[in-house]
Copies of this chain bind each other. A is one copy, B any other.
């Protein structure tokens, strides 16, 4: 085939807040009706606080039809076709279209101030919507189930089985544990076991962080302005809070006990990976600096940096030129390009040009891996089903002035 199969590792979909109602269990609909106006008001206040309303308004102009793809399957397919994307991983949404799932479910599933029963009910609602959404074009959509695992590990196991039965392709976990045990504790083992056995990759997505430390009370009181420095310092840490669960899992020996478990870290860039890997290597060795704390690696079957190579994928949304140039340090087989539709910081609706800027002049086999090959392998996608789609809409080979020999030297 003379076209690339592009798989976006990062897309978002969700309903307008009110439209989740029919997906909520009947017994929680009264609570839903009470919570809805409060949720909408809080989302609006957050949106204004972060100036998202204004930016969004300008950016949306003229794009309204394709933006409906955030919840409408046929608009979604048109957007994918125009963007040259054969298949995509779909996270919940929360900002752009005011379409956060009910009861605080979705992205953050934040451990503080939440009611666990309602949190599960909100996740159920979103997971049902996502399951329907996926069914409209199952070969093109890898839908993720929201699983707030720390509230109830047995329930998380059941919900993951249910998600698999309903055609979902992975799970999204909250990255911030608050006062719950972090992900190195072995009590999560039954959950890792089911994710491994059902081949449901575990996902973390950037965004959640201890927001009040940067921004003050959340949601912000009426009239509050953002403290100077809050946004910059928050952005600097986004990758840290995203990668933190993996740090716990790697050192906790999770992949020693579940060697086929897969983890994806999405939209935190991939530029932090080389430094992260160097530290893994440094501390795994018998470093002088570490030895005073005693044995902390005897339970690991291998170096956590090697584990990273085998079990971890980076959802490198809107991969930058710099990241593409660092690909051998990051791991050319650990990076999956992504569009981040429908967010303003994403590559849509200029994906084609964005990809040219990123991949220009790179070896063809490496471009192929980062654009889709790695994702096909990671998610076990059916390349034969994707080929005819890509043959119709994928970027042509040669588009990126690719070279023919691989320069790969991934260590």
Binding site for B on A (CB under 8 A): 50-52, 55-56, 177, 182, 184-186, 213-214, 226-233, 235-237, 239-240, 244, 247-248, 250-253, 269, 271-272, 274-276, 278-280, 282-284, 288-294, 296-297, 299, 304, 318, 343-345
Contact = CB atoms under 8 A, between A and B. Distances in A.
A184 B233 contact: yes
A250 B228 CA distance: 11
A236 B251 contact: yes
Given A51-B293, A184-B230, A239-B279, 20 more contacts: A51-B294, A177-B213, A184-B227, A184-B233, A185-B227, A186-B227, A226-B296, A229-B251, A231-B290, A232-B283, A233-B248, A233-B250, A233-B252, A235-B293, A236-B279, A236-B280, A237-B247, A271-B279, A271-B282, A288-B318
A284 B231 CA distance: 11
Q: How many copies does the complex hold?
A: 2
Nearest to A298: B228
B252 A229 contact: yes
B280 A271 contact: no
A291 B239 CA distance: 17
Contact of A271 (B185, B278, B294, B296): B278
A197 B200 CA distance: 58
Contact of A293 (B50, B289, B292): B50
Contact of A297 (B232, B247, B252): B232
Contacts of A294: 50-51, 55, 226, 231
12 contacts: A52-B292, A52-B293, A55-B292, A182-B214, A229-B248, A232-B251, A232-B284, A233-B247, A233-B251, A235-B289, A236-B276, A291-B345
B292 A232 contact: no
Most central of A177, A230, A240 by chain B CB within 10 Å: A230
Contact of A253 (B56, B228, B276): B228
A235 to B, nearest CB: 5
Given A251-B229, A278-B271, A279-B236, A344 B292 contact: yes
Nearest to A280: B236
Contacts of A252: 227-229, 233
A232 B345 contact: no
Nearest to A289: B345
Contacts of A248: 229, 233
A213 B241 CA distance: 14
A298 to B, nearest CB: 9
Nearest to A95: B292
Contacts of A272: 275, 279
A34 to B, nearest CB: 30
Contacts of A279: 236, 239, 271-272
Given A229-B251, A229-B252, A235 B50 contact: no
Contact of A228 (B52, B240, B299, B344): B299
Contacts of A283: 232, 235-236
A299 B233 CA distance: 14
Most central of A177, A214, A290, A293 by chain B CB within 10 Å: A293
Contact of A275 (B229, B275, B282): B275
Contacts of A240: 240
A240 B241 CA distance: 11
The 4 closest A-B pairs by CB, nearest first: A229-B252, A232-B251, A184-B229, A231-B296
